Chain A
Amino acid sequence: MSDENKVDLELDLKGLLCPLPMVKVSQNIGNVPVGGVIRAVATDPGAMADIPAWAKSTGNEVISAEKEGSEFVFLVKRVK
C-alpha cells in the first residue's frame, strides 16, 4: 500500500446489516482529518453498493472496495 493510503482509522463493521455499515462510516468520517483514510471491514454484501453511494452523496471518496473472502474491505478518504 502506498504511503498516500495510510490508514488513520480502522472500523470493524462485521456482522452489521443495513443501514448500519453506512451509518458507522458516516459517524466516524469526522474522526479523521481531511485527506485521512478509514479502513472499514464489513460482512454485509449490501455495503458494496451503499458505501460508494454514501461517498458520492457526501462528496467523499472510496479509494477501493474489495471482496476478500467473506469480507468486504473499504478504503474511504475524507475529502471535505
Chain B
Amino acid sequence: MPDEVNEQKKLAMVVMSGDMDRLFGAFIIATGAAAMGMEVTMFFTFWGLRALKKNVRTGTSFFGKMLGLFYGGDISKSNPSKFSFGGMGRWMFRKMMGAHNVASLPELRDLAIQLGVNMYGCQMSMDVMEIPRESFVEGVKEPVGVGFFLMKAQEAEVQLFI
C-alpha cells in the first residue's frame, strides 16, 4: 500500500458565493473529497451563509429584515450567477438538471453533512447579516472565525475559495 493513504488528506474551502452554480461546484467537490476519505472543512461567509439556512425569516434591525426579505429562504432559492432573469434561470437550470438526473443543491448539501463534511458559519458575517445560528440546518457546526479557518487551511493540502 502506498504510504500516502495512511495519513488523511485535508481540504479547506471558503464559500463566499451564494450563486447556484458556485454552490454546485462547492458541494460536488466537498462530497467527492469526503468520499475519497478526505477531511473536509467548509467555511461559509457572506452570501454563502444562505446555503446553511433553513427556510426561515431572519433579521432584527430594519436593514437586517430587508436582507431577510430579499435574500431570504434557503439553499433552494439560489440563482445562477449568469442567466438569472429574475428567477427564470433558476427554474430553467432546475429543469435541465432534473432531466439529466443531477442531484439537487439541497440533496448535495445534506449528502455532504451525511458524509461528515464539517460546515461552519462565519460568526462575523452572521452578526452583520443578522443570520443566527438557530436558522441553520441540523449538522452545521458552531460558528467560527477566520483564525479557525486559517488553522484548517494550513493543515490542508487543498485550499479553495469559492
Q: How far is the CB of B2 from chain A (nearest CB, A)?
A: 7
Determine whether B144 belongs to the interface, using a CB cutoff of 8 Å to chain A: no
Evaluate whether A54 and B100 lie within 8 angstroms (CB atoms) in the complex, with A19-B28, A79-B1 already known.
no
B1 contacts A26, C-beta separation under 8 Å: no
The residue in chain B whose Cβ has the minimal distance to the Cβ of A60 is: B5
Say which residue of A17, A27, A58 sits within 8 Å of B36 (CB atoms): A58
Q: How many chain A residues touch the partner (CB < 8 A)?
A: 19
In the complex, whether A63 has a CB less than 8 A from a CB of chain B is no
**Considering the chains assembled together, what is the distance between the CA atoms of A22 and B30 in angstroms?**
12
Q: What class of interface size applies to chain B in its complex with A?
A: 10 to 19
Write out the residue numbers on chain A whose beta carbons fall within 8 Å of the beta carbon of B102: 17
Complex partner residue of A57 from B1, B36, B100, B101, CB under 8 angstroms: B36
Contact of B32 among A16, A22, A59, A79 (CB under 8 A): A22
What are the 3 tightest A-B residue pairs by CB atom distance, in nearest-first order?
A: A59-B5, A26-B35, A19-B32
- 6 more contacts with CB within 8 A, not counting A26-B37, A57-B36, A59-B5, are A15-B101, A20-B103, A22-B36, A27-B35, A54-B35, A59-B1
